[in-house]
Amino acid sequence: MEHSVPRTIDVTAPPEPPALQAPGLSIRDLHKSFGDNHVLRGVSLDIPAGQKVAFIGRSGSGKTTLLRLVMTLEQPDSGLIEVGGVPLGVRRVGDAYVPDSRRHVNEVRRNIGMVFQHFNLFPHKTAAQNVMEAPMKVLKQSKDEARAGAVALLEKVGLGHKVDEHPSRLSGGQQQRVAIARALAMKPQIMLFDEVTSALDPEMVGEVLNVIRDIAQETSMTMLLVTHEMRFARDVANRVIYMEDGVIAEDSPPDVIFENPTNPSTRNFLRAVLSP
């Protein structure tokens, strides 16, 4: 399938900035298929800067694919994503959009961080070195500056005593906290969390969720969280989106969606996952 972008959305891209200021996220009529599987079917939403949004729903509903498109790990078949008013992956030429330069895509994406289900740390590097890598290569920080930042972030996620340990000597929960510190080291304004506790043993889930909860409470970062942890979603999010079959089936404040959802599918899903 050839990728296409809409020609009817009237959006004028601002001049290319060296960095975006407090970007919100806008998604318009996003479609994505893998073969015959139409994973996203016209998703549209606006997420203001600073908002914390939890995405819930059954496996295969399109939640992770949506985050991967925002991170440019996948390309949409059609639709438009804007970060801080700047189109992501395309640029406006006349009344049409064309693929953007890789340089500008990377510049816009620099404002976005993502933490995955699996940690993907460099096994031959220490915790601090894993966190230092991108700031040195991408932000051109000196080794001393990157090291100081890495130590501060590892202390923030409760790993100040593990800065020089290699991943093989860390628990799964500790490795995921290093991955969170690594994402924060790029100073993103939007953070994406994709089922970050799904690969952890149950006793390690709480330590990771507590770190994310602290980040949500202490920063003005925009956050998108795909999670099956319903209590966590209710505690952390300003807004909860229930996805089903590639569309947004319900979009409400946490108290509404967990106490009085309007969509029968949402009610059935929550009844199933919250039942003893």
| 181 found inside a domain | yes
User: Is the separation of the CB atoms in 217 and 48 below 8 Å?
Assistant: no
Banded pLDDT at 1 (limits 50, 70, 90)? very low
Q: Is 204 inside any structural domain?
A: no
Mean pLDDT of all residues belonging to the chain: 89
**Is 115 inside a domain boundary?**
no
171-193: average pLDDT: 96
With bands split at pLDDT 50, 70 and 90, how would you rate the model's confidence at 90? confident
Q: Which band of pLDDT confidence, cut at 50, 70 and 90, is reported for residue 276?
A: low
Residue 34 counted as domain residue: no
Give domain status of residue 83, yes or no: no
Does some domain include residue 125? Answer: yes
Overall size of the chain counted in residues: 276
SS3 state at 118 = coil
Residue 251: the pLDDT is 97
Whole-angstrom distance, CA of residue 98 vs CA of residue 75: 13
Q: Give the count of domains, the chain.
A: 1
Instruction: Indicate whether 130 pLDDT > 90.
Output: yes
Which domain range does residue 172 map to? Answer: 121-187
Residue with tokens 């001049």, as numbered in its chain: 15
What angle in degrees, to the nearest 10, is found between the helix axes of 172-184 and 143-156? 130
Q: Flag whether the pTM goes above 0.85.
A: yes
Which residue did the predictor score with more confidence, 91 or 133?
Answer: 133
Helix axes 127-137, 172-184, angle to 10 degrees: 20
Is the pLDDT confidence value at 106 over 70? yes
* Percentage of the chain modeled with pLDDT above 90: 77
Side-chain half-sphere of 74: how many Cα atoms within 13 Å? 18
Quote the tokens at residue 187.
Answer: 């100073």
Do residues 191 and 215 make contact, with C-beta atoms less than 8 angstroms apart? Answer: yes
Question: Does 33 fall in a domain?
Answer: no
* Residues contacting residue 9 through CB under 8 Å, at least 6 positions apart: 28, 29, 80, 97
Lowest mean pLDDT among 71-85, 91-105, 114-128, 193-207: 91-105
| CA trace torsion 198, 199, 202, 207 (10° rounding) | -80
255 band by pLDDT with thresholds 50, 70 and 90? very high
